[in-house]
Structure 1
Amino acid sequence: MTTLHPPGAVVSETGPARILRVAGRAARPAAHRLVLLVVLLAAVFAAVGLLPGDAAGATADRGASAAELAARRTALGLDRPWPERFWDWMTALPTGDLGTTARGEHVTDVLSGPFPNTLLLGTLALFLAVGGALLLGSWAALRPKGRADRTIDTLATTAFALPEFVVSVALLLLLSQWTGWLPAVTLAGPDGTPESWTMLVLPLLSLAIPQIGWNTRIVRGALADQADLPHVRAAVLDGLPRRRILTHHMLPGALPAIAAGIATSAGMLLGGAVVVETLFNYPGIGAVLATAITDRDTPLVAGVVAAAGAAISLLLLLADLVRTTALGEHR
């Protein structure tokens, strides 16, 4: 029997139907990002091949003869075209094999220590950036066009405009060189992680401060858009407390824009980590990538890019799911 619904009635979706709808909407951007990652990895192989020198010469023993270098190039597969080497690398990637470095180590073994350190630093910076942005953006949104709103907007714009290396140098001078409060460099313990939590503070702040500025502006703008909606104005006229209006009427509608900003920050944080880790001698993928480029080590460079790209793609996928779910609930 067909069920008739009155005109204008909203028919709610069942659980499985809603899951399928959300998954369907997230599948297309996920596939698009996968294609972009493959293109980026191909570009890595091509770009490293265009650099002067090659992995055989960069990693060979001093005084190696021309014959020895030629034999080493053959052993590393450098006598083959880069598209062929890229295809072999890509076909092994689904099995978790990232290849072998020019020095004979498995790429997964080389990344197994530094990459978790980078993820730790990036995750802490992301949480700090999100928490700070929500606090400052909400504070400014509750006082539109007031002194606090103008001050927060100026500070957020300034923070986001500063590159990570500028923030790093400023913090290094202020909190290490001039005051001696924090260590200037990171020393790795026997397990490869920083010896002390204090060694995380300067790299963490250097990464988080620009992203606090970026996300504060996004939160403030998203909340400002919500403040003009009829249901929010009605809540204000009803005399509801400002905090309740913020948490129950403004933030839920602003969530899609905020989630998109957070996902963008994740990519910026992993990109900025390479610079920050180098400045503070942090034991992450920054040092690995610098060494790999010096060695012209294509599999290792591609492995770093693949690991970082997978982490960023996962966060973007989660942001897509949050955004899709939030938009579906507010239609």
Structure 2
Amino acid sequence: MLVVLLALVFSAVELLPGDAAAASAERGESAADLAERRHLLGLDRPVWERFTDWMTALPTGDLGNSARGRKVTELLADPLPNTLVLAVSAFVITVVLSLLLGCWAAARPGRPTDRTITHATTAAFAVPEFVVSAVLLLLLSLWTGWLPAVTVTGGDGRPASWTMLIMPVLALVIPQTGWNTRVVRGALADQAAAPHVEAAHLDGLPLHRILMNHQLPGAVPAIATGIATSTGLLFGGAVVVETLFNYPGIGTVLAGAVAARDTPLIAGVVICAGAVVSLVLLAADLVRHATLGVRG
């Protein structure tokens, strides 16, 4: 899947107007200068040949050189940890909130609480990250002045204060919580019709015990799979959020790389994000198989 995705990246950049040589050209450069730069960057070679060379070097950890001549690994060394901090924080908060809200709604099926949570989470998921970010900027920064509107980095390339993480994390958490709460609620609803759950109701067990001891364990595989598959949306939202809040992550790097038609740098960002998503999906599969094995 990663190979196909990377091939699509190389092809998509090739279809964009302009190229890395033209994007990095300085004013007054002649056509001969541009042609020479295209030759140095290998842009005069077929795209499939450049893709093959890049993929051949990938197993050695070589992500190639950017259009500016720097190693892609060097350009991603600082932004990638920043994005991981942002994404992991948002992921953990999303999982906790989704489980709490999903269980709360499932404990009161059909009641006003269940309907309120269902409608609220549907609305939260339907709102794009850039709209959530704009609302947060208005409420928490421009109108109240509680939080800084943009991220200021220190000498180490990290955000100068942890408070600068709050709005970017919230901008990712709100839509993701909306989606994953629906996943948790749906998985618990499916388990509610299981024979052992109905038997627990007939035995007169308290609703919270039925939910925690009978419904939730059976719903874990579906919940783990649903939450894991949403990590791709999380990284996609990070690109928008990091750009809006000037957060020093790979999303900002990706936006600049697309503008510069810098194919190796774009591919480097994609392979990093793809590797993280693949690891999360693998972890979800392991949880699913372990849970099914225990139940079996």
Short-chain TM bin: over 0.9
1:254 match: 219
Q: Deviations over 1:164-189 (max 9, x none)?
A: 11111111111111111111111111
The structural deviation recorded for 1:62 is: 2.5
Q: Which amino acid aligns with 2:121?
A: A
The structural deviation recorded for 1:235 is: 1.9
1:239 match: 204
1:101 match: 66
The structural deviation recorded for 1:244 is: 2.4
State the SS of the aligned residue for 1:191: coil
Q: Which amino acid aligns with 2:205?
A: L
Q: Deviations over 1:114-161 (max 9, x none)?
A: 111111111111111110010001011111111111110110111011
The structural deviation recorded for 1:291 is: 1.2
1:62 match: 27
Distance in 2 (alpha carbons) for counterparts of 1:58 and 1:212 = 39
- Verify: 1:87 aligned to 2:52, yes or no: yes
2:9 match: 44
Distance in 2 (alpha carbons) for counterparts of 1:50 and 1:265 = 29
- Percent identity, aligned pairs only, is 68
Q: Which amino acid aligns with 2:67?
A: A
CA contact (8 A) 1:260 1:319 kept: yes
The structural deviation recorded for 1:202 is: 0.5
CA contact (8 A) 1:126 1:265 kept: no
1:120 match: 85
The structural deviation recorded for 1:240 is: 2.7
Q: Deviations over 1:17-54 (max 9, x none)?
A: xxxxxxxxxxxxxxxxxxx2111111111111121211
- Verify: 1:78 aligned to 2:6, yes or no: no
Q: Which amino acid aligns with 2:258?
A: I
State the SS of the aligned residue for 1:185: coil
The structural deviation recorded for 1:242 is: 2.7
Provide runs of 4+ in structure 1 moved above 6 Å.
Answer: none
- Verify: 1:211 aligned to 2:165, yes or no: no
CA contact (8 A) 1:137 1:217 kept: yes
Q: 1:316 pairs with 278, 281, 286, which one?
A: 281
- Verify: 1:182 aligned to 2:147, yes or no: yes
1:28 match: none
Q: Deviations over 1:49-84 (max 9, x none)?
A: 121211112113322222222121111111100000
2:159 match: 194
User: When the two structures are superposed, what TM-score results if normalisation uses the length of structure 1?
Assistant: 0.87
Distance in 1 (alpha carbons) for counterparts of 2:283 and 2:192 = 26
Distance in 2 (alpha carbons) for counterparts of 1:246 and 1:303 = 44
2:248 match: 283
Gaps of 5+ in 1: 1-35
Distance in 2 (alpha carbons) for counterparts of 1:52 and 1:267 = 27
1:306 match: 271
Distance in 2 (alpha carbons) for counterparts of 1:185 and 1:323 = 40
- Verify: 1:271 aligned to 2:250, yes or no: no
Q: Which amino acid aligns with 1:320?
A: D
Gaps of 5+ in 2: none
1:296 match: 261
